[in-house]
Structure 1
Amino acid sequence: MKALRLIFGAVFVAASIGVCAAEQPVSSANGMAVARSNACMGCHAIDRKLVGPSFQQIAEKYKGQPQASVQLEKKVKNGGAGVWGPIPMPSHPRMNDADIKTVVAWVLAGAPEK
């Protein structure tokens, strides 16, 4: 019985640690590195419009929307048009899903530089 309690306790602790790690915000350095290495910065800036909206404008527009991550992840992967004007966002089919999730989380956090 004691061994069983120890096993369940270890599983509970491991699960709790996993939940906490999953809820931690994405590192600013990681988000910015992914954006830079995938040419995002060619069309977007952190705080001003270039070809596309700034990352901060995107964060503001999608603030409080529960499906924002999913929507933006699809937009990064598949491209899109019409939300921010007539210039389409190109698709990024070669960008891996982990990088897409990282950059989208960073953008939705307001694209912090630090």
Structure 2
Amino acid sequence: MIRRLDHVQLAIPAGAEDACRHFYIGLLGMDEVPKPESLASRGGLWLRRGDVQIHLGVEADFHPARKAHPGFVAEDVDRLASVLADAGHHPEWDDALPGIRRFYVADPCGNRLEFMSEGIP
């Protein structure tokens, strides 16, 4: 019945769009996708890199997702960890899955993100 995952939505607080642009576009290399006019007044932003889409939606009573998270396969997970660390986003490495290099990092709003060298077998 389900064909594919279209996007992941993460909540952000009002006014966090510029900080998120710096993180998701400037550090992760994503592109901003214009939101449909009917949704633009809600704030937030939509992002894409290849088939990966993230929607950041403004939530009035915002609480960051500290356990639930999207997991992304990175082209060079070690280089990405270095870029993020240099920008002040400190990776937390996890070796619980043998043969997979992966780490967690918080976005500017405190949402947990996972980056890995390969998908889970």
Q: TM-score, normalised by structure 2?
A: 0.32
Greater fraction of residues in helix: 1
Does 1 or 2 have the higher relative contact order (CA < 8 Å, sep 6+)? 1
Task: Choose 1 or 2 for highest CA Rg.
Answer: 1
